[in-house]
């Protein structure tokens, strides 16, 4: 019996051959090389935390979320398609990057963080320690009580005060 | 960006306070207030004249479309929507759209933010972008806007089918502050004093003992203060005069011997009394403390048992357990030791200060300044020490986590040859512990010598100042020794008192956590006037049922069907379709958000929960067995069952044969969670348990999906016998399992897709027919 090549399961498409655009409703439209058009579709990152430009799945915008195709490297898309996709991904994955901690106030297990991010200053609440996930290389991912997410690429590279504040929390 | 952090917070704070007064009856009025926030002047100036149509919606976002934090505005009157957006420009841009034009209002639920979008004839327009924090607010706004559109277009209002949040709240309704994950109530809104006084109420039954214990403590503490005083008398009245007499060659005074004996007897007596009565007092206080916590613990546990499944779903088992053990223990410590040592320290500090000042206020003031210094130092270093200690502790905890995952998973590690990586990972974390531990040691190494130095400095000061006063003749040697011993005794109580606040707060928090359980009303509370049903027919009807776990997605979305008594219904559908949810509503683990579930024509909320559940037997995919014997597990559903009943139930469940093969038969202990019997055996024991109760409604939730075909056919056989004369709901993925069903109900995404007999559905040639074909193909492959 032939062994199954598991890579055949992937629905890769040639990024040069496809086209992504917004229709007049602002919905994303996918044009495949065989001429079929899918709309509305939504992009999904396979590795939202570790690789934001590779393995972008394009799925149907309904409850089933069926995958139509997988884009290995979005850098290879044609200029306009790439811009449209970048735009859609920016909206779909909103995760400010924290650059400095101003204060952490603790009160019975709830911590209130006041931080500076690339999107401005924000105050948010964490309900437990498990809201902070730690990755290799000092990378932190924080999920606040309302479901917003924030990232610190490497907390050890922040200023000493921020590091000290974080050390009390992780 | 300056407005981003302060302004929206204030606005939020305000709208939350409005929400607290909201109840279903008057939601119209309060929604109104909720959805109209105060518009700052610079936005107000931009707006057209709105005199004829008041604002129905006026909400600030917390994001611009650029993704930067800041306020855009979404406004709606009864004829148009206005969006004010600042797209990286200094000026706000206004967009106005007639409500009549709008076809659809939708909220795009994205990661970390949401977008409100409308569709008009040939266009889609994104009107507001906001973070998850504002999701609820804009959800409300969306429904309001839909309502306005319908009114404007002259359409009938549809019934309200929006999901309602049945899940746990993350923010306080009153103050808008975050609620800790272990809590149900807002910790900011609790009153520490009230909590402690509520705790003390548990002490009331033991008040005589407690008052006695405290009185004893008062007396004993005062007594304990006297030895340095007696030492002083001994010095000044006996030893020093005698010594100087001898050195001058004069005879020692006659009654010196008598005085010596007298003071020694005093000291001896005090030692005996303080220690003997101290032991009694300590036992009395422990007795009271332990009884108080026992009362609290049992009350909490019995209350825990009345709480709904939902309560447990929303929390870690570990947290609930911690409250029953850790928090209750901490309270006991506070009652038995905390309160006492606070009082004792207080008395000692005041008493000693009085004695010292009265004796020699100048020396006191001169030397006692080292005490606050010492205390400040211990507090500071103590904090530092605890902080690092905590960091190390957490690092050690991480090591335990690694162990807890790799040791049980050792087979996986070995099979994939990942031992070297696991060792490296472990070494890395172990090194973290090492580094942290060294810091703690450094602090410790610094701490003790510093304390010693300050104490030594204080003593030297007393010797120096006291020595000079003795030389000047203004002070006796006895005074000096008394000073020194009081000074050594002083440190402890002062340190104790400096921790007063912390101790108090900790106890209050622990008490609050325990009270929080007691204060949580059972979610599925019996209404006051529920009926008790002794006998039921088993007729079930769902009427337009809508239910959501989290308020975002409807797990059941408008489900209606009717089941006759004694009918067997097969439930099928993709996973996540809502099959288990439907069962959860019948057993009343949750209540519907909208619509009704009827049993024998009665709303199940009008039937008492106990009597409802007494008629239902449930078998789950992964049945839970308690660590006890097989017989105990079977009779769990009917504790007074006779042995022959247990055996009959086991026989009916096809379990008897394998049970008697065990060397301990029905007395075999099944182990933690039933780990010592196989999956299929566990399953059949749980079927026996369900059947022993002889329920009128039997529910099988994927009862056979985790066993092999051979075992399944045995269970099948058993079930075939058991379904006679009962209403049965059976969920199964293998359709063959459902072959005895009278009718089949196919669910998909929370809605009924098909409902009918096997033949009807085949004729329909829809979802079920498709499933049948697929499974038939599969079984053919197996045969080949
Ligand atoms: N306790 C819960 N809390 C939140 N969501 C839940 C919970 N239980 C189930 N769900 C969700 O409800 C939907 C229906 O689940 P369920 O009824 O268990 O499906 P199934 O048909 O597989 O039994 C799923 O989307 C599931 O994720
Ligand atoms: Mg299920």
Residue A131 lies in a domain: yes
Q: In which domain, by residue range, is A45 found?
A: 6-92
pLDDT of residue B47: 82
Does any ligand 1 atom lie closer than 6 A to the CB of residue B579?
Answer: yes
Residue A139 lies in a domain: yes
Q: Which 8-state DSSP code applies to residue A116?
A: E
| The token pair that represents B193 in the structure block | 């004093």
Task: Report yes or no: B320 and B362 within 8 Å, Cβ to Cβ.
Answer: no
What residue spans of B473-598 are helical by DSSP H?
477-498, 500-519, 579-586
SS3 (DSSP) at A105: strand
List strand residue ranges (DSSP E) for B552-638, in order.
Answer: 556-563, 568-572, 594-599, 602-603, 616-619
CA B531 to chain centroid, in Å, comes to: 33
A104 and A75 belong to one structural domain = no
Distance separating alpha carbons of residues B759 and B747, to the nearest angstrom: 18
| Confidence class for position B318, pLDDT limits 50, 70, 90 | low
Distance separating alpha carbons of residues A56 and A60, to the nearest angstrom: 13
pLDDT of residue A162: 92
B500 and B586 belong to one structural domain = no
Chain B residues whose beta carbon lies within 8 Å of the beta carbon of residue A127: 170, 178-181
Task: Report yes or no: B87 and B64 within 8 Å, Cβ to Cβ.
Answer: yes
B571 - beta bridge partners? Answer: B731, B745
Task: Tell which of A42, A68, A92 closes a domain.
Answer: A92
Please determine, for residue B160, whether its predicted confidence score (pLDDT) is greater than 70.
no
The structural domain count of chain B equals 4
Residues B474-532: pLDDT tens digits?
888 888 888 888 877 887 888 788 777 777 777 877 787 788 788 777 766 666 677 88
B406 and B496 belong to one structural domain = yes
Give me the percent of chain A exceeding a pLDDT of 90. 42
B597 and B479 belong to one structural domain = no
pLDDT of residue B19: 36
Residue B301 lies in a domain: yes
B17 and B61 belong to one structural domain = no
B411 and B491 belong to one structural domain = yes
**Between B32 and A137, whose confidence is greater?**
A137
Please determine, for residue B9, whether its predicted confidence score (pLDDT) is greater than 50.
no
Look-up: residue for tokens 């495949």?
A32
A122 and A153 belong to one structural domain = yes
A14 and A48 belong to one structural domain = yes
B47 and B149 belong to one structural domain = yes
Residues B434-451: pLDDT tens digits?
988 888 888 888 877 877
| The token pair that represents B437 in the structure block | 């531990």
Interface test with A, best of B138, B178, B323 (most A CBs within 10 A): B178
What number is the average pLDDT over the span B390-406? 78
B420 and B509 belong to one structural domain = yes
pLDDT of residue A97: 94
Does any ligand 1 atom lie closer than 6 A to the CB of residue B313?
Answer: yes
SS3 (DSSP) at B559: strand
Task: Report yes or no: B333 and B290 within 8 Å, Cβ to Cβ.
Answer: no
A104 and A161 belong to one structural domain = yes
pLDDT of residue B16: 37
Q: For a pocket test of ligand 1, which of B164, B314, B578 has the largest count of ligand atoms closer than 8 A to its C-beta?
A: B578
Nearest to A91 among B115, B124, B187 (CB): B115
Does any ligand 1 atom lie closer than 6 A to the CB of residue B548?
Answer: no
pLDDT of residue B525: 62
What number is the average pLDDT over the span B699-718? 77
Distance separating alpha carbons of residues B685 and B257, to the nearest angstrom: 86
Distance separating alpha carbons of residues A88 and B280, to the nearest angstrom: 74
Q: Three-state secondary structure along B669-697?
A: ECCHHHCCCCHHHHHHHHHHHHHHCCCCE
A12 and A74 belong to one structural domain = yes
Residue A1 lies in a domain: no
Task: Report yes or no: A95 and A149 within 8 Å, Cβ to Cβ.
Answer: yes
SS3 (DSSP) at B331: helix
A42 and A67 belong to one structural domain = yes
Does any ligand 1 atom lie closer than 6 A to the CB of residue B701?
Answer: no
B511 and B560 belong to one structural domain = no
pLDDT of residue A87: 92
B240 and B296 belong to one structural domain = yes
Q: For a pocket test of ligand 1, which of B167, B311, B549 has the largest count of ligand atoms closer than 8 A to its C-beta?
A: B549
Give me the percent of chain B exceeding a pLDDT of 70. 88
Exposure string of B594-619, with b = 16+ CB inside 10 Å and e = fewer, is bbebbbbebebbebbbeebbbbbbbb
Distance separating alpha carbons of residues B385 and B108, to the nearest angstrom: 49
A42 and A115 belong to one structural domain = no
pLDDT of residue B526: 64
CATH number of the domain residue B74 falls in: 2.30.29.30
Average pLDDT over chain B reads: 81
Distance separating alpha carbons of residues B736 and B549, to the nearest angstrom: 31
Q: Which 8-state DSSP code applies to residue B414?
A: H
A11 and A84 belong to one structural domain = yes
Please determine, for residue A27, whether its predicted confidence score (pLDDT) is greater than 80.
yes
Helix axes B370-406, B419-472, angle to 10 degrees: 170
pLDDT of residue B694: 86
Task: Report yes or no: B124 and A26 within 8 Å, Cβ to Cβ.
Answer: yes
CATH number of the domain residue B556 falls in: 3.40.50.300
What number is the average pLDDT over the span B639-653? 88
Residues A95-106: pLDDT tens digits?
999 999 999 987
Task: Report yes or no: B677 and B601 within 8 Å, Cβ to Cβ.
Answer: no
| Residues B180, B185, B188, B192, Cα dihedral to 10° | -110
Please determine, for residue B6, whether its predicted confidence score (pLDDT) is greater than 60.
no
What number is the average pLDDT over the span B314-341? 78
Please determine, for residue B419, whether its predicted confidence score (pLDDT) is greater than 60.
yes
| The token pair that represents B403 in the structure block | 């162990």
B116 φψ region: left (φ > 0), alpha (ψ -120 to 50), beta (else): beta
Q: How far is CA B778 from CA A18, B190, B759, B771, in A?
A: 36, 61, 21, 11
Q: In which domain, by residue range, is B286 found?
A: 192-518
Number of A:B CB contacts under 8 A? 114
Interface test with A, best of B180, B435, B506, B573 (most A CBs within 10 A): B180
Which helix (H) or strand (E) segment holds residue A19: the answer is strand A19-22
What number is the average pLDDT over the span A138-159? 90
Nearest CA residue ID for atom 25, ligand 1: B576
Please determine, for residue B782, whether its predicted confidence score (pLDDT) is greater than 60.
no
Residue A160 lies in a domain: yes
| Confidence class for position B613, pLDDT limits 50, 70, 90 | confident
What number is the average pLDDT over the span B160-178? 61
The structural domain count of chain A equals 2
Please tell me which of A112-121, B165-174, B569-578, B692-701 the model is most confident about, judged by mean pLDDT.
Answer: A112-121
What number is the average pLDDT over the span B384-404? 78
Distance separating alpha carbons of residues B557 and B414, to the nearest angstrom: 47
The phi, psi pair for B607, rounded to 5°, reads -105, 140
Exposure string of B165-194, with b = 16+ CB inside 10 Å and e = fewer, is ebeeebbbbeebbbbbbbbbbbbeebeeee
B492 and B562 belong to one structural domain = no
What number is the average pLDDT over the span B656-671? 86
What residue spans of A15-139 are helical by DSSP H?
79-92
Residue B58 lies in a domain: yes
B533 and B504 belong to one structural domain = no
pLDDT of residue B21: 35
Q: For a pocket test of ligand 1, which of B310, B556, B580, B621 has the largest count of ligand atoms closer than 8 A to its C-beta?
A: B580
pLDDT of residue B316: 64
Residues A67-90: pLDDT tens digits?
888 898 999 998 899 999 999 999
Cβ of residue B70 closer than 8 Å to a chain A Cβ: yes
B30-35 long-range Cβ contacts below 8 angstroms, 24+ apart: B31/B140, B31/B144, B32/B56, B34/B137, B34/B140, B35/B59, B35/B137, B35/B140, B35/B141, B35/B144
Task: Give contacts of B 169-198 with A, CB under 8 A.
Answer: 170-171, 177-183, 187-188
SS3 (DSSP) at B446: helix
Cα distance from N-terminal residue to C-terminal residue, chain B: 69
Please determine, for residue B783, whether its predicted confidence score (pLDDT) is greater than 50.
no
Residues within 5 Å of ion ligand 2 by Cβ? B 580
Does any ligand 1 atom lie closer than 6 A to the CB of residue B116?
Answer: no
Task: Tell which of A64, A92, A120 closes a domain.
Answer: A92
Task: Tell which of A38, A66, A92 closes a domain.
Answer: A92
| Confidence class for position B22, pLDDT limits 50, 70, 90 | very low
Please determine, for residue B456, whether its predicted confidence score (pLDDT) is greater than 60.
yes
| Confidence class for position B25, pLDDT limits 50, 70, 90 | very low
Neighbours of B48 (CB within 10 A): 10
How much is the pTM? 0.60
| Confidence class for position B217, pLDDT limits 50, 70, 90 | confident
| The token pair that represents A19 in the structure block | 């086209």
A63 and A111 belong to one structural domain = no
Task: Tell which of B518, B542, B566 closes a domain.
Answer: B518
Please, which residues have CB within 8 angstroms of residue B447's CB and are 6 or more apart in sequence? B381, B385
């Amino acid at each position: 019996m032939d062994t199954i090549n598991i890579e055949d399961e992937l629905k890769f498409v040639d990024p040069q051959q496809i086209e992504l655009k917004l229709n007049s409703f602002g919905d994303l439209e996918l044009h495949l090389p065989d001429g079929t058009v899918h709309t509305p579709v939504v992009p999904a990152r396979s590795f939202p935390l570790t690789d934001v430009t590779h393995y972008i799945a394009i799925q149907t915008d309904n409850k089933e979320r069926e995958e139509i195709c997988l884009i290995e490297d979005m850098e290879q898309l044609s200029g306009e398609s790439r811009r449209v996709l970048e735009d859609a991904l920016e909206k779909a994955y909103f995760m400010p990057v924290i650059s400095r901690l101003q204060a952490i106030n603790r009160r019975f297990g709830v911590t209130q963080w006041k931080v500076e991010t690339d999107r401005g200053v924000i105050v948010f609440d964490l309900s437990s320690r498990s809201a902070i996930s730690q990755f290799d290389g000092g990378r932190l991912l924080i999920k606040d009580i309302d479901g917003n997410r924030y990232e610190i690429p490497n907390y050890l590279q922040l200023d000493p005060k921020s590091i000290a504040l974080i050390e009390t929390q992780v | 960006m300056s407005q981003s952090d302060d302004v929206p917070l204030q606005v939020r704070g305000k709208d939350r306070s409005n929400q607290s007064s909201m109840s279903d009856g008057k939601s119209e009025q309060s929604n109104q207030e909720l959805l109209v926030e105060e518009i700052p002047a610079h936005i107000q100036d931009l707006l057209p004249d709105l005199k004829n149509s008041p604002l129905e919606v006026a909400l600030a976002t917390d994001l611009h479309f650029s993704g930067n934090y800041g306020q855009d505005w979404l406004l709606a009157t009864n004829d148009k929507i206005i969006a004010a957006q600042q797209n990286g420009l200094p000026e706000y841009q206004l967009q106005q759209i007639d409500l009549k034009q709008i076809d659809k209002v939708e909220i795009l639920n994205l990661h970390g933010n949401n977008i409100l979008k409308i569709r008009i004839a040939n266009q889609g327009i994104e009107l507001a972008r906001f973070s998850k924090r504002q999701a609820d607010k804009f959800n409300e706004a969306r429904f309001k806007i839909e309502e306005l559109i319908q009114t404007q277009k002259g359409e009938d209002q549809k019934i309200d089918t929006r999901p309602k949040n049945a899940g746990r709240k993350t923010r306080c309704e009153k103050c808008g502050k975050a609620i800790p994950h272990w809590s149900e109530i807002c910790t900011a809104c609790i009153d520490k004093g009230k909590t402690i006084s509520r705790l003390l109420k548990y002490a009331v039954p033991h008040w005589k003992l407690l008052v006695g214990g405290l009185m004893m403590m008062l007396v004993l503490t005062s007594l304990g203060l006297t030895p340095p005083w007696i030492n002083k008398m001994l010095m000044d009245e006996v030893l020093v005069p005698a010594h100087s007499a001898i050195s001058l060659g004069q005879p020692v005074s006659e009654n010196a011997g008598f005085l010596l004996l007298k003071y020694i007897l005093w000291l001896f007596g005090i030692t005996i009394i303080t220690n003997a009565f101290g032991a009694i007092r300590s036992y009395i206080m422990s007795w009271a403390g332990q009884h108080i916590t026992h009362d609290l613990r049992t009350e909490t546990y019995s209350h825990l048992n009345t709480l709904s499944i939902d309560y447990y779903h929303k929390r870690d088992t570990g947290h609930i357990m911690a409250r029953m053990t850790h928090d209750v223990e901490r309270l006991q410590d506070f009652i038995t030791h905390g309160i006492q040592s606070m009082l004792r320290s207080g008395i000692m500090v005041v008493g000693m200060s009085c004695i010292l000042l009265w004796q020699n206020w100048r020396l006191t003031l001169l030397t006692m300044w080292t005490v606050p210094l010492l205390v400040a130092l211990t507090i500071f270093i103590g904090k530092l020490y605890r902080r690092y200690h905590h960091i190390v502790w957490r690092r050690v905890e991480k090591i335990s986590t690694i162990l807890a995952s790799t040791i049980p998973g050792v087979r996986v590690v070995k099979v994939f040859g990942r031992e070297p990586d696991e060792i490296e990972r472990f070494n890395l974390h172990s090194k973290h512990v090492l580094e942290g531990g060294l810091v703690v040691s450094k602090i410790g190494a610094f701490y003790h010598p510093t304390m010693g130095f300050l104490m030594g400095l204080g003593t030297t000061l007393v010797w120096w100042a006291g020595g000079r006063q003795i030389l000047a003749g203004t002070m006796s040697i006895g005074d000096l020794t008394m000073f020194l011993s009081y000074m050594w005794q002083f440190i402890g109580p002062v340190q104790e008192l400096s921790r007063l606040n912390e101790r108090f707060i900790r106890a209050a928090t622990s008490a609050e956590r325990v009270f929080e359980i007691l204060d949580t009303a059972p979610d599925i509370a019996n209404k006051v006037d529920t009926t008790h049903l002794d006998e039921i027919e088993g007729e079930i009807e769902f009427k337009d049922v809508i239910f959501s776990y989290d308020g975002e997605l409807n797990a059941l979305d408008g489900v209606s069907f009717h089941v006759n008594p004694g009918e067997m219904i097969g439930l099928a559908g993709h996973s996540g379709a809502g099959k288990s949810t439907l069962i959860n509503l019948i057993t009343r683990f949750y209540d519907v958000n909208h619509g009704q579930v009827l049993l024998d024509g009665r709303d199940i909320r009008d039937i008492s929960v106990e009597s409802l559940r007494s008629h239902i037997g449930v078998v789950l995919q992964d049945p839970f067995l308690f660590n006890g014997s097989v017989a105990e597990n079977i009779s769990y559903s009917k504790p007074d069952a006779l042995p022959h009943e247990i055996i009959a139930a086991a026989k009916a469940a096809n379990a008897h044969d394998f049970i008697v093969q065990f060397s301990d038969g029905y007395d075999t202990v099944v182990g933690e969670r039933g780990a010592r019997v196989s999956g299929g055996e566990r399953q059949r024991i749980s079927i026996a348990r369900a059947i022993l109760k002889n329920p009128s409604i039997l529910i099988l939730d994927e009862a056979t999906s985790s066993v092999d075909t051979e075992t399944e056919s045995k269970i099948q056989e058993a079930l075939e016998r058991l379904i006679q004369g009962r209403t049965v709901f059976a969920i199964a993925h293998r359709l063959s399992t459902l072959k005895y069903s009278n009718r089949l109900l196919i669910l998909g995404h929370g809605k009924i897709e098909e409902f009918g007999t096997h033949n009807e559905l085949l004729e329909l040639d829809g979802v079920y027919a498709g499933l049948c074909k697929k499974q038939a193909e599969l079984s053919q492959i197996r045969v080949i």
